[in-house]
Amino acid sequence: MLRLIGAMTRRPRFTDLATRLPASVPFVGPEAQERRRGRPFAARLGANELVFGPSPRAIAAMESAAAEAWKYGDPESHELRHAIAARLGVAPGTIMVGEGIDGLLGYLVRLFVAPGDAVVTSHGAYPTFNYHVAGYGGHLHGVPYRDDREDPQALLERARETGAKLIYLANPDNPMGTWHGAESIAEMIAGVPDGCLLILDEAYVEFAPAGTAPPIDTDTPHVIRMRTFSKAHGLAGMRVGYAIGHPELISAFNKVRNHFGMSRLSQAAALASLADTAHLAETIARVAGARDRLAEIAAENGLAALPSATNFVAMDCGRDGAFAASVLDGLLARDVFVRMPFVAPQDRCIRVSCGPDADLDRFATALPEALKSAR
């Protein structure tokens, strides 16, 4: 009896919001799937990682930083922030480094979103952003994609209607890989309503054609851009992203961020990778080649590959989400890890990351079999 009373009275008290929220993982990792399956995947083409791997110079920098892992990383990521700023031709005070774009999105939402605040995104866009908004009690408004692209003008219109504090747009987009040119993004920036902040997620921008990113203007207070070392730099596991914005906005991260979130290894890796411009150029070329190959594989199997400005290709399986899901299951069963969009009508596609020839060969072998069993 005493034990029962203790159990009842010693219950920690979650916030009302946390009590209501489902415990979820926006992306179930390939590791969890491998544990469930009891065997590893032969090709890892589902998480939009850079399967080609990071720059050898980044690897060497991590190796030499390893013995210093007993030290905290510089809480200001001084050297890295200055190097990024120099590369972009902006002041260091306009750059904030954090634990990937994902981490920075969390801080940004924490700075802006109180329970009930309106936030606008595209229906089926990057779900980690939504997860953060839900975590602070924000009210998400979703705008449909138009022709498989996010719709900047519709996002603005919904922001005006709802009095949104944040608009989220990824350019290029995940999961479809489509993109808008700089002009239409510049037009969107000009149309952001008063009191609203546009989050322009440029995680994939290095892979996009020239003319995709509008010029950076850190005097504009109502836009923040986010980039990452996870994609073109191949350092997803090191968790390094950065935000570019007005200095007042950037310094606000110092109110809430985890100051020791950036390890020494992460900072060293990003710094070395940034300096290795030849490797980045080579990576971009390899990704472009793999994208073409993926489009060919899709075509050989009667699927339409969507044009992509990223390191992945969305392939339209030509029917509904249930059909694409069964193609996906067929690929997983054949040890090829891929993913698919979560929401209709985008979920008629599967999404395949670029990778080395051996991995694409495995995908090319598995796809016709997976299609056959799905049909």
Residue type, 84: I
Binding-site size for ligand PLP (CB under 6 A) equals 13
Q: Which residue is nearest to ligand PLP (CB)?
A: 100
Q: Give the C-alpha separation, 57 to 273, whole Å.
A: 7
Residue 241 vs 321, nearer CB to ligand PLP: 241
For residue 100, state whether it binds ligand PLP (rule: CB under 6 A): yes
- Tell me phi and psi for residue 313, to 5 degrees: -130, 125
Residue 41 vs 242, nearer CB to ligand PLP: 242
Q: Which stretch binds ligand PLP (CB under 6 A): 96-104, 301-309, 339-347, 352-360?
A: 96-104
Q: Give the C-alpha separation, 164 to 117, whole Å.
A: 7
For residue 228, state whether it binds ligand PLP (rule: CB under 6 A): yes
Q: Which stretch binds ligand PLP (CB under 6 A): 84-92, 140-148, 177-185, 228-236?
A: 228-236
Residue 45 vs 170, nearer CB to ligand PLP: 170
In whole angstroms, the minimum distance from the beta carbon of 243 to ligand PLP comes to 11
For residue 48, state whether it binds ligand PLP (rule: CB under 6 A): yes
Q: Give the C-alpha separation, 329 to 74, whole Å.
A: 44
Q: Do 177 and 208 touch, CB atoms closer than 8 A?
A: no
For residue 101, state whether it binds ligand PLP (rule: CB under 6 A): yes
Structure tokens of 358? 């051996």
In whole angstroms, the minimum distance from the beta carbon of 27 to ligand PLP comes to 8
In whole angstroms, the minimum distance from the beta carbon of 178 to ligand PLP comes to 12
Among 85, 188, 200, 203, binds ligand PLP (CB under 6 A): 203
**Longest CA span, the chain:** 71
For residue 80, state whether it binds ligand PLP (rule: CB under 6 A): no
In whole angstroms, the minimum distance from the beta carbon of 104 to ligand PLP comes to 8
Binding string to ligand PLP for residues 110 to 149, with x set by CB under 6 A, is what? ----------------x-----------------------
Among 159, 170, 340, 364, binds ligand PLP (CB under 6 A): 170
Q: How far is CA 183 from CA 179, 215, 264, 342, in A?
A: 12, 10, 38, 29
For residue 94, state whether it binds ligand PLP (rule: CB under 6 A): no
Q: Which residue has the tokens 């399956």?
A: 37
Q: Give the C-alpha separation, 145 to 174, whole Å.
A: 12
Q: Which stretch binds ligand PLP (CB under 6 A): 63-71, 94-102, 107-115, 279-287?
A: 94-102
Cis peptide preceding 175, ω within 30 of 0:
yes
For residue 102, state whether it binds ligand PLP (rule: CB under 6 A): yes
Q: Which stretch binds ligand PLP (CB under 6 A): 98-106, 112-120, 134-142, 362-370?
A: 98-106
Of 83, 65, 26, 100, nearest to 261 by C-alpha is 100
362: Cα within 13 Å, side-chain hemisphere: 21
Residue type, 196: C
Residue 152 vs 241, nearer CB to ligand PLP: 241
Instruction: Assign 130 to helix, strand or coil.
Output: helix
Residue 272 vs 370, nearer CB to ligand PLP: 272
Structure tokens of 303? 């699927």
| DSSP conformation letters of 42-65 | SEE-SS---TT---HHHHHHHHHH
Footprint of ligand PLP on 241-270 (CB under 6 A): 241
In whole angstroms, the minimum distance from the beta carbon of 6 to ligand PLP comes to 42
Q: Which stretch binds ligand PLP (CB under 6 A): 99-107, 133-141, 251-259, 269-277?
A: 99-107
Could you tell me the strand order of the sheet in which 223-228 lies? 95-98, 241-244, 223-228, 197-201, 166-170, 118-122, 139-143
For residue 46, state whether it binds ligand PLP (rule: CB under 6 A): no
Strand locations in 123-253 (E): 139-143, 166-170, 197-201, 223-228, 241-244
Where do contacts with ligand PLP occur on this chain (CB under 6 A)?
48, 100-102, 126, 170, 174, 201, 203, 228, 230, 236, 241
